[in-house]
A and B are shown apart, each in its own frame.
Chain A
Amino acid sequence: MTVLDDSTAPGLVGPPHSHGPRRDPAPLLPDPEPVRILGTPAAKTFDAGLQRDLYRRLVLGRRFNQQATTLTRQGRLAVYPASTGQEACQITAAMVLRGVDWLFPSYRDTLAVVARGVRPLDALTLMRGHAHSGYDPYEHRIAPLSTPLATQAPHAVGLAHAARLRAAMDPASAEDLVALALVGDGGTSEGDFHEALNFAGVLGAPVVFLVQNNGYAISVPLASQSAAPSLAHKAVGYGIAGRLVDGNDALAMHSVLSAAVEYARSGRGPVLVEAVTYRLDAHTNADDATRYRSAAEVDAWRARDPLTLLERHLRAAGLLDDAGVAAAAQAAEDLADEIRAQFDDPPDPDPDSLFAHVYAQPTSQLREQAAELAARLDADADAAFPADTAFPADTAFPADADEDEAR
């Protein structure tokens, strides 16, 4: 395992060069094989309390994914892109961050958002469909879930850069923060991803990019997505450190990600971590994954389920018994109950909210339009007709939703 240390700090290779210094790429390169801890001697020295904590959180994470998927079947969520099989990535992404840090999630990362402390209902608001986002980004230091892929990556760079600028302006209130941006394997093909890596490298911003390589971008397998030796190798071209880790090994995820975050925090530059994992469920509840991947492939990955791997290890190490498993299961059921309770009341978004927050102050045009809609709704109410019969609330999300990948 290549460690992240000072040897990766910028340094001259050979004589000064008119085109600026060049770095030795070797320390930036990821290991040829993903870092693993489960099943290796390193597992024996891994903090026992942390291992148990990881287990409990993974169990909760799995239950969260199941419950959210159930909500789509009940029509209570418009869509849910599950992170089943990726819980070790989602949970550790939240765990390794401190309160001052920022998370920049993509649309699949609701679980990471919940793991960082957002109420499930608020994390799922976008998917429920009554508002675009349900949590206060400043309260939790989490940007809104980003649906346009990879567009959040440069935001993470800018925020981390700004924190450095502010710290220089006012050292007394300096925040040693790190921004963690979550991107999918498909997202690494977008220009914004590459521009973000480059800016991060040039600015030396304290950013960690976590690529959850789950093998697919909807139907497109990694082989059609990239010809790179690994996605972690993409870091090297931008002069930043690349690290490759087994995304289904919760211990390895925790250790590599926390090392990356602290490396960035210490001012040594950004890090790109590629976590090799697998999306066990379909792209979303509306997707039919049998069209592009085999049951045998899914089964092979089920055998490498992050939860199973961790539980097996903990039991073998004597860190977990039946009672521990039952306790975690009970906590998961409590979480599911809590989520169901939060979704009990059908949402009733106020039509007037359409016009709120488009600008800091509504324009005169928007005030006019809001008044027009309000008058129309009043008239409808007076006539005792339903507001509109075209899209009654309970059919807003037809069940035969094959047509919309994001449903």
Chain B
Amino acid sequence: MSTTMVAALNAALRDSLREDAGVHVLGEDVGTLGGVFRVTDGLAAEFGAQRCLDTPLAEAGILGTAIGMAMYGLRPVVEMQFDAFAYPAFEQVVSHVAKMRNRTGGRMGLPITIRVPYGGGVGGVEHHSDSSEAYYAHTPGLHVVTPATVADSYGLLRSAIASDDPVVFLEPKRLYWSAADFSPAEVATARVPPIGRAMVRRPGTSATLLTYGPSLPICLEAAAAARSEGWDLAVVDLRSLVPFDDETVCAAVRATGRAVVVHEAAGFAGVGAEIAARVTERCFHHLAAPVLRVTGYDIPYPPPMLEKHHLPSVDRILDAVARLQWEQ
């Protein structure tokens, strides 16, 4: 059955609400409206307004309240309406969600899932297209995951909600309406993907593209286009930024000896910098060229009519591959 990412996320929330009475969804417009992206569609009707609560419009309040609920043993799933509108909650996330287990000597964990629709490519005006993953990934104590496929969005969200640690769950907006054959039952009976495992989406022998979330489709496109240039590109979908799957990533890079990291967030001090450093530290003697990055420019997210220039494109990815010192 063809399912969109939105529907898969909705199914994951529904199944979690059904199986665990402690799971509570809260956020702006998540109830009656079903969320501005419809990810929570029908949940309030099925589970009641208290299990899927329309909160006042205050992200710090939402997060802080979720912390209190988690302290008392519930399992809150909060929705931040958009990437850039999660910033008022940043203090609660950084000062409390990320630190509570550590501060209490392991006595108090906060099993909160923070869902954040993120990234660009959807023609959104200002403040609707931020890639905020680096802020979270840089904060010890948070897991940070981002699905790129329909099946993963179901499985990873189930895993995030089940996790005893807080998880920042970044949902690539531009993939919300991507569809694939998918039935939740299959994924539920198969092993739910554990948080922290990357996935090789395409094997290859020439060079390895390392990417995640919104940039996976463009990397697969680039890999397909690269065939005509004589390159056989591997594509790794990181899925989880924290914890980071060094094992899968390094094996995939060692196999080709060349790597390009692709993400749409700004490059400077971005997640790609961490990935390039890790790969270089661990695979130095296997590398034929420096690890390169193809990222958004170091600018505030541009207005919709210019975003095509900012986002990684097939051309930019292939240009980077071409610079991987082939003529040695």
Binds B, one of A114-122, A216-224, A273-281, A315-323: A216-224
- A225 CB-CB contact with B under 8 Å: yes
Whether the pair A218, B28 counts as a contact (CB closer than 8 A) is yes
- B19 CB-CB contact with A under 8 Å: no
Kindly provide the distance from the CB of A179 to the nearest chain B CB, expressed in whole angstroms: 22
Task: Type the 1/0 row for A131-173, where 1 means its CB is closer than 8 Å to any CB of B.
Answer: 1100000000000000111000000000000000000000000
Task: Type the 1/0 row for B304-324, where 1 means its CB is closer than 8 Å to any CB of A.
Answer: 111111110101100100000
Whether the pair A78, B56 counts as a contact (CB closer than 8 A) is no
- Which residues of chain B from 45 to 80 have any CB-CB distance to chain A below 8 Å in the complex? 54-61
What are the residues of chain A within 8 A of B300 when measuring CB–CB? 132, 358
A373 to B127, CA, bound (A): 23
Q: Closest residue of chain A to B32, judged by CB?
A: A292
Contact residues of B: prevailing secondary structure: loop
Q: Closest residue of chain B to A148, judged by CB?
A: B127
What are the residues of chain A within 8 A of B125 when measuring CB–CB? 78-79, 126-127, 129, 147, 406
- Which residues of chain B from 113 to 147 have any CB-CB distance to chain A below 8 Å in the complex? 121-128
Whether the pair A219, B54 counts as a contact (CB closer than 8 A) is yes
What are the residues of chain B within 8 A of A355 when measuring CB–CB? 297, 299
Partner of A404, one of B57, B122, B268, B299: B122
What are the residues of chain B within 8 A of A129 when measuring CB–CB? 123, 125, 303-305
What are the residues of chain A within 8 A of B29 when measuring CB–CB? 217-220, 405
Kindly provide the distance from the CB of A197 to the nearest chain B CB, expressed in whole angstroms: 14
Task: Type the 1/0 row for A372-399, where 1 means its CB is closer than 8 Å to any CB of B.
Answer: 0100110010000001101101001110
Q: Chain A interface: which size bin? A: 35 or more
What are the residues of chain A within 8 A of B57 when measuring CB–CB? 149, 186-187, 189-190, 217, 220, 225
What are the residues of chain B within 8 A of A354 when measuring CB–CB? 297, 299, 302, 306, 309-310
A161 to B33, CA, bound (A): 40
Partner of B128, one of A190, A219, A406: A406
What are the residues of chain A within 8 A of B38 when measuring CB–CB? 402
Task: Type the 1/0 row for B75-91, where 1 means its CB is closer than 8 Å to any CB of A.
Answer: 00000011011011000
Q: Closest residue of chain A to B176, judged by CB?
A: A403
A312 to B84, CA, bound (A): 44
Task: Type the 1/0 row for A315-343, where 1 means its CB is closer than 8 Å to any CB of B.
Answer: 00000000000000000000000000000
Whether the pair A391, B303 counts as a contact (CB closer than 8 A) is no
From B60, B125, B268, B304, name the one whose CB has the most chain A CB atoms within 10 angstroms.
B125
Partner of B309, one of A189, A373, A404: A373
Q: Chain B interface: which size bin? A: 35 or more
Whether the pair B122, A148 counts as a contact (CB closer than 8 A) is no
Partner of A291, one of B34, B298, B307: B34
Q: Given A148-B85, A191-B58, A404-B122, is A369 in contact with B309 using a C-beta cutoff of 8 Å?
A: no
- A259 CB-CB contact with B under 8 Å: no
A398 to B37, CA, bound (A): 15
A263 to B86, CA, bound (A): 36
Kindly provide the distance from the CB of B25 to the nearest chain A CB, expressed in whole angstroms: 15
A132 to B301, CA, bound (A): 10
Whether the pair A131, B298 counts as a contact (CB closer than 8 A) is no
A147 to B34, CA, bound (A): 22
Kindly provide the distance from the CB of A45 to the nearest chain B CB, expressed in whole angstroms: 40
Whether the pair B54, A224 counts as a contact (CB closer than 8 A) is yes
- A74 CB-CB contact with B under 8 Å: no
Partner of B122, one of A130, A351, A403: A403
Whether the pair B88, A191 counts as a contact (CB closer than 8 A) is yes
Whether the pair B56, A218 counts as a contact (CB closer than 8 A) is no
What are the residues of chain A within 8 A of B31 when measuring CB–CB? 219
- A9 CB-CB contact with B under 8 Å: no
What are the residues of chain A within 8 A of B268 when measuring CB–CB? 365
Q: Closest residue of chain A to B297, judged by CB?
A: A369
Whether the pair A358, B299 counts as a contact (CB closer than 8 A) is yes
Whether the pair B28, A132 counts as a contact (CB closer than 8 A) is no
A349 to B304, CA, bound (A): 10
- Which residues of chain A from 260 to 300 have any CB-CB distance to chain B below 8 Å in the complex? 291-292
A396 to B302, CA, bound (A): 13
What are the residues of chain A within 8 A of B303 when measuring CB–CB? 126, 129-132, 349
What are the residues of chain A within 8 A of B61 when measuring CB–CB? 189, 191
Q: Given A190-B57, A191-B58, A373-B297, is A388 in contact with B308 using a C-beta cutoff of 8 Å?
A: yes
A168 to B56, CA, bound (A): 40
What are the residues of chain B within 8 A of A189 when measuring CB–CB? 56-58, 61
What are the residues of chain A within 8 A of B302 when measuring CB–CB? 354
- A366 CB-CB contact with B under 8 Å: yes
- A192 CB-CB contact with B under 8 Å: yes
- B36 CB-CB contact with A under 8 Å: yes
Partner of B88, one of A127, A192, A219, A373: A192
What are the residues of chain B within 8 A of A405 when measuring CB–CB? 29, 36, 81
Q: List 15 A-B contacts (CB under 8 A).
A: A129-B125, A129-B304, A130-B306, A189-B58, A190-B57, A191-B58, A217-B28, A219-B33, A220-B28, A291-B33, A351-B309, A377-B309, A401-B123, A404-B128, A406-B82
**Contacts A186-B56, A404-B122, A406-B82 supplied; 17 other A-B pairs, CB < 8 Å:** A79-B125, A189-B56, A189-B61, A190-B57, A190-B88, A191-B60, A217-B57, A220-B54, A224-B56, A225-B56, A349-B306, A366-B298, A377-B309, A387-B309, A388-B313, A391-B121, A391-B308
